[in-house]
Structure formats: C-alpha cells, structure tokens
C-alpha cells in the first residue's frame, strides 16, 4: 500500500526580484510504501532537507503534488495543514526541540494535550511509550537533566504519541555521540520492524543510513539514484560509501 506519492515536485527560491532562481528541488517524483524505512542522502545543498520539510508540510511547494495517506497536502489551507501534521505526521528534529519548562513526561504528552485528549488517555499512552522506549525512569526529569541520547528518545516518543502515519527525522543523530547514535538507529529500526512505522530519514552519515531499507540519493535538487539494502548492515554501509564517493556528499 502506498503511503506517500510525490509528483513533479519543485521548490524554487529567489532572494530578491531580478535575482537568479535557485532550484532547491527540481521536478522530483517518487513513491514510498507503507512500512518502508527510507533514507535521503546527498551533499550540502542537494535539496534533501528541503524535500523532507515539504513532505512534512513545514515548507510550501512551488509546484507539484504530495499525497500522504490519500490526502493531497499541497491543497490544504494553513490551518488544515497544521491539524493534519499534528494528527498524521511525526517529526524528530536534530536539536530535539524539547520544552525546558516541561518534564520528560509532559513533553511527550504535549501533542495529545494540545488535541484536548482526556488526561487518562494522555497518561496511558505516555506511559506505554516511555516503557517501550526505556525512558520511564526519567519521566519526571527536565530536559536539562538528561543526556543527548535520552533527549532524542524523548523527541521520538513525542513524535509517536499521536500514532502518526509517517515519522520524519532530520539528521536525528547529528548531535549524538557514536553510542547514542547507534542506540537511536536501533530504536528506529525496531519501530519500523515491530510496529511497521513508515520512516523517512535525512542524513549525511553512512552509518545511520545503513539502518534504512532503501536510500534515495539527491544531487542538485534531483533524484540521482536509489539503492536497496539486502539486510546486511555492513554490506549496505560499504555500498552507501561507494555511492557517496561516486556522486559526492560524503560530508555535509
């Protein structure tokens, strides 16, 4: 079953009238099936983060269509897009985006609170997720009192609390040490395998990308090539490095 369909998607920028038009995303079409774990890679300026933000409804498109769970999000009003994003999409940011004034438990439950869910439902779903992601023991801690790896797990739990159709992640390991990065990617792999979550991940890191089932490489705003994992992390990691070396983008 298809979860995301993208048709002739473009995003053009113009710094000021008369300036050259920058084609950040240039006519991309693709499909993502339900339950896929997709990585988007490419050099700095290739358009990967712009593409992710358009898919997540954060950035408006210049032209083209994005259909997610049978809804063309490019035709939604600003208010309807906000509601769709809150109910159907989860987003894990590189810098966590946790509220320092709230506890871990409160940060995770915030999307349900904003949707005016009953406190008992908020408590139940929050507890279930904290137990599943092994962060229940830090429930009452403030973000300043926990590690970077724990913060990213909290951010992941917050993204999952509404049971979204798709989870988007923008460089989620960018601010983590190697162990925390490995733990986070194992967690995302587990979510994909056990709960069949559809995950779309932007990364420049070949190690993180090796956990994905498929990698889309971008160059100059276009899709350059796609590779599919055979299930072996080491072999897929080596293949990713080969492609990065061939098309550029090993460093961001």
- What is the C-alpha to C-alpha distance for residues 187 and 210, in angstroms, rounded to an integer? 14
SS3 content of the chain, % helix, strand, coil (to 5): 40, 25, 35
pLDDT at 152 over 50: yes
Nearest to 155 by CA among 198, 101, 86, 91: 91
pLDDT tens per residue, range 208-234: 999 999 999 999 999 999 999 999 999
Report whether 158 contacts 111 (CB < 8 A).
yes
pLDDT at 249 over 80: no
pLDDT at 176 over 50: yes
Provide the pLDDT for residue 190.
92
- Could you say which DSSP state residue 205 is in? -
DSSP per-residue string spanning 67-131: EETTEEGGGS-HHHHHHHHHHHEEEE-TT----TTS-HHHHHHHHHHHTT--HHHHHHHHHHHHH
Instruction: Quote the number of domains for the chain.
Output: 1
Provide the pLDDT for residue 175.
87
Average pLDDT value for the chain: 93
pLDDT tens per residue, range 122-149: 999 999 999 999 999 999 999 999 999 9
pLDDT at 252 over 60: no
Report whether 179 contacts 171 (CB < 8 A).
no
252 located within any domain: no
pLDDT at 113 over 50: yes
The range of the structural domain enclosing residue 150 comes to: 2-247
182 located within any domain: yes
Provide the pLDDT for residue 14.
84
Report whether 212 contacts 132 (CB < 8 A).
no
Phi and psi at residue 206, to the nearest 5° = -65, -35
Report whether 135 contacts 154 (CB < 8 A).
yes
Give residue 251's pLDDT band: very low, low, confident or very high (50, 70, 90): very low
Question: Which CATH number do you get for residue 63?
Answer: 3.40.50.300
Q: What is the pTM of this model?
A: 0.91
């Amino acid at each position: 079953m298809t979860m995301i369909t993208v048709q002739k998607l473009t995003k053009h920028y113009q710094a000021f009238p008369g300036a050259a038009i920058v084609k950040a995303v240039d006519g991309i079409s693709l499909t993502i099936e339900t339950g896929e774990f997709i990585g988007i890679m490419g050099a700095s300026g290739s358009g990967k983060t712009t593409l992710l933000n358009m898919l997540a409804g954060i950035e408006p498109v210049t032209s083209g269509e994005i259909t997610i769970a049978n809804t063309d999000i490019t035709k939604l009003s600003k208010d309807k897009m906000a509601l769709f994003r809150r109910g159907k999409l989860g987003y894990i940011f590189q810098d966590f985006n946790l509220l320092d004034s709230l506890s871990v438990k409160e940060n995770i439950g915030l999307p349900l609170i904003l949707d005016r869910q009953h406190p008992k439902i908020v408590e139940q779903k929050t507890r279930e997720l904290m137990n599943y992601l092994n962060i229940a023991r830090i429930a009452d801690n403030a973000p300043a009192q926990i590690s970077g790896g724990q913060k990213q797990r909290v951010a992941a739990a917050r993204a999952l609390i509404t049971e979204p159709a798709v989870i988007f992640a923008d460089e989620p390991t960018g601010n983590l040490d190697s162990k925390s990065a490995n733990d986070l990617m194992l967690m995302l792999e587990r979510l994909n395998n056990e709960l069949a979550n559809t995950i779309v991940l932007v990364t420049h890191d070949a190690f993180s990308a090796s956990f994905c089932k498929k990698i889309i490489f971008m160059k100059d705003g276009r899709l350059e090539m796609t590779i599919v994992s055979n299930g072996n992390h080491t072999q897929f990691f080596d293949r990713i490095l080969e492609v990065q070396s061939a098309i550029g983008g090993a460093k961001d």
